Structure formats: structure tokens, C-alpha cells
């Protein structure tokens, strides 16, 4: 960042008093410009014993399978963002059940908040963001073609919970800590 988005003056990267990280700071209007992680909101959508996956029609990871998810928009809640993403990628509606996992990817400054969501109907279809939308049983999931570690994490924990008869909210990150 070179210029203040409020007044247009040059900013400087500095550690401010009572802080521990360098921040972009405008000495002209005294605005601190924080850089924080992006929130990705989405859902692991299920119908009976199957999960709904979308084959991506956009980069990154074009052609790979993923749960419906994407960056939150301003003026929406995390569950609203998850429902919007499901609609944008599957052209159908879902009912949010509960938080399923929170997954951090620190090297790209992203936090995924994925909900467990029930498919409202079977009228799903591909959209501009998906090449294909399909329900999978666990044994048929194309594990080698899953787009992101967050999706693999969410899917594995979902099927583990089903086998154990539990309903947990899972915390994970990439890279995984030992």
C-alpha cells in the first residue's frame, strides 16, 4: 500500500505504539490501515447419505471438485454468505444446520467457515461458476481431484462424524501443526 484510501497521502509501514506488528499508517489523517485475513464462507451440503460437490468452472483449481464456498461480501452474515455461495454454484437452496468446520490457511491469509447444510431440493444444476454439480456417496468421492485442503478436511470430518454418530465443529489449518 502506497497511499491512504481516505485522504490520498503517502502512508508508511510502521509499528505503532501499543502494537506489535507493522501497519500502514497515514501521518496526515492518522488512519491505520489494517490488513486482515479474508473470510471464505461455504457449506458442506448433504442429501440423505450423499454430499453435493461442484466441479469448478473458475480458477484457481479449474476442473477440480469443491464444496460451494467463496469470499464473503460486505453487508452479509457468514451463514448468508454460505447460502449465497451455494446458490451461485448450484442454482439451488440449502438450509443451514450448524457450523461444521473452521479452517485456516495462514500462508494465503484465509479463514474458511463451512456450515453443514441440508439440500432443500434436488433441482441443482451447474452455473457459470461450476462445470458440474453432483451428489456423491463417500465411496465415490474423487479424492484425488478435490480442489482444496479445506474441502478434504471438511469431507473427512463429516463422514467421520456420521460413522461415530457425533456432531462436532472441527478446527483445522494448513499446513497442519503437529
pLDDT digit string (tens) for the chain, length 178 residues: 999 999 999 999 999 999 999 999 999 999 999 999 999 999 999 999 999 999 999 999 999 999 999 999 999 999 999 999 999 999 999 999 999 999 999 999 999 999 999 999 999 999 999 999 999 999 999 999 999 999 999 999 999 999 999 999 999 999 876 5
Rounded to whole angstroms, the Cα distance separating 2 from 81 reads 31
* 8 A C-beta contact, residue 74 and residue 143: no
C-alpha cell of 122? 434436488
Contacts of 77 (CB under 8 A, 6+ apart): none
C-alpha cell of 140? 465415490
Rounded to whole angstroms, the Cα distance separating 158 from 46 reads 10
pTM of the model: 0.91
Residue extents of the structural domains in the chain = 1-35, 38-174
C-alpha cell of 78? 457468514
Pairing of strands 38-47, 110-119: parallel
pLDDT at residue number 123: 96
Rounded to whole angstroms, the Cα distance separating 62 from 19 reads 40
Hey, what CATH topology would domain 38-174 get?
Nucleoside Triphosphate Pyrophosphohydrolase (3.90.79)
Pairing of strands 94-105, 110-119: antiparallel
Which CATH number is 1-35 given?
Answer: 2.20.70.10
Amino acid at each position: 500500500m502506497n497511499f491512504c484510501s481516505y485522504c490520498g497521502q503517502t502512508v508508511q509501514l510502521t509499528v505503532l505504539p501499543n502494537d506489535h506488528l507493522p501497519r500502514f499508517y497515514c501521518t496526515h489523517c492518522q488512519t491505520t490501515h489494517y490488513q486482515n485475513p479474508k473470510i471464505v464462507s461455504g457449506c458442506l451440503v448433504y442429501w440423505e447419505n450423499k454430499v453435493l460437490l461442484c466441479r469448478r468452472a473458475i480458477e484457481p483449481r479449474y476442473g477440480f471438485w469443491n464444496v460451494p464456498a467463496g469470499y464473503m461480501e460486505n453487508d452479509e452474515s457468514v451463514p448468508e454468505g454460505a447460502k449465497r455461495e451455494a446458490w451461485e454454484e448450484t442454482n439451488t437452496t440449502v438450509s443451514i444446520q450448524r457450523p461444521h468446520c473452521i479452517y485456516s490457511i495462514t500462508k494465503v491469509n484465509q479463514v474458511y467457515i463451512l456450515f453443514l447444510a441440508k439440500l432443500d431440493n434436488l433441482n441443482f444444476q451447474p452455473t457459470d461458476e461450476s462445470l458440474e454439480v453432483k451428489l456423491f456417496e463417500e465411496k465415490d468421492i474423487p479424492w484425488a481431484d478435490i480442489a482444496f485442503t479445506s474441502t478434504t478436511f471438511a469431507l473427512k470430518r463429516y463422514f467421520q462424524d456420521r460413522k461415530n454418530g457425533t456432531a462436532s465443529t472441527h478446527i483445522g489449518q494448513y499446513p497442519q501443526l503437529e
